[in-house]
Amino acid sequence: MTDNNTFEYVWRLVQIDGQPPTDEKIHLNSRQRDYIFYPFPHHGLILTIDYRVWDLPKAGSESSKAPTNIVPWPDAYQLRQFIENKSPSKTPSLIAFTDQLATPIASPLSSKIPMESAKIFQANFAFVGFDVVDLLTSVSGLTSIGYTPKDISRLAALPPKISDHGLIGTINDARIFAEFASVAAPEHAPFFPIEVWCSN
């Protein structure tokens, strides 16, 4: 939806009953001290599309009964339902766009926001930055890959601009970081920039 509408395919809809991670939480959960997860200076929430690093309610709690919806390559009906949902929620709803049709189930017709929902989307969602992911597994290169001190020193030479929401701020920086992550974690390569919008 930005960068001259390059990112027009909806890769994933995510609505999670939980809290996005913070850089502090990701570093705290790192089991290997030789590696650094989330290699950027940022304080506060990180609106990563990688839902596996979110803090989820504990089983048995009242809030654990709330739904978690993760829909890959949504069709037109799913997109309308998600965008036009009028029920109030404290849970952020994320929509992730890609310029890559990277899987057999992806369809240009079923993975674009319907025209009748476009105005509602623009009024109710805000761009929060770019995540960089393995499209097949949804692993984020920002939050879920361990980087060595050598990787971090290389990254310092090309520091990307980070948004207020802990994501990469520009498409050019996201593409550069995607190449960097693909070299650092070849088992997940290639990484792709994903454009993330969040419900207001």
- Given its phi and psi angles, is residue 198 left (phi above 0), alpha (psi -120 to 50 degrees) or beta? beta
Q: Is residue 4 included in any domain, yes or no?
A: no
Domain count, the chain: 1
Distance CA 70, CA 49 (A): 10
In this structure, are residues 135 and 181 in contact, taking their beta carbons and an 8 Å threshold?
no
Distance CA 40, CA 167 (A): 9
- Is the model's pLDDT at 2 over the cut of 70? no
Q: Is residue 2 included in any domain, yes or no?
A: no
Q: Is residue 182 included in any domain, yes or no?
A: yes
pLDDT band at 1 (very low <50, low <70, confident <90, very high): very low
Q: Is residue 89 included in any domain, yes or no?
A: yes
pLDDT at 50: 92
Q: Is residue 153 included in any domain, yes or no?
A: yes
In this structure, are residues 40 and 78 in contact, taking their beta carbons and an 8 Å threshold?
no
Structure confidence by residue, pLDDT tens digits, 51-87: 888 887 665 555 555 557 889 889 888 999 999 887 6
pLDDT at 3: 46
Task: Round the average pLDDT of the chain to a whole number and report it.
Answer: 84
Above pLDDT 70, what percent of the chain? 80
Q: Is residue 3 included in any domain, yes or no?
A: no
Which of 26-35, 55-64, 81-90, 149-158 has the highest mean predicted lDDT (pLDDT)? 149-158
Contacts of 184 (CB under 8 A, 6+ apart): 141, 145, 147, 148, 151
In this structure, are residues 182 and 191 in contact, taking their beta carbons and an 8 Å threshold?
yes
- Is the model's pLDDT at 106 over the cut of 80? no
Range of the domain at 69: 9-199
Q: Is residue 1 included in any domain, yes or no?
A: no
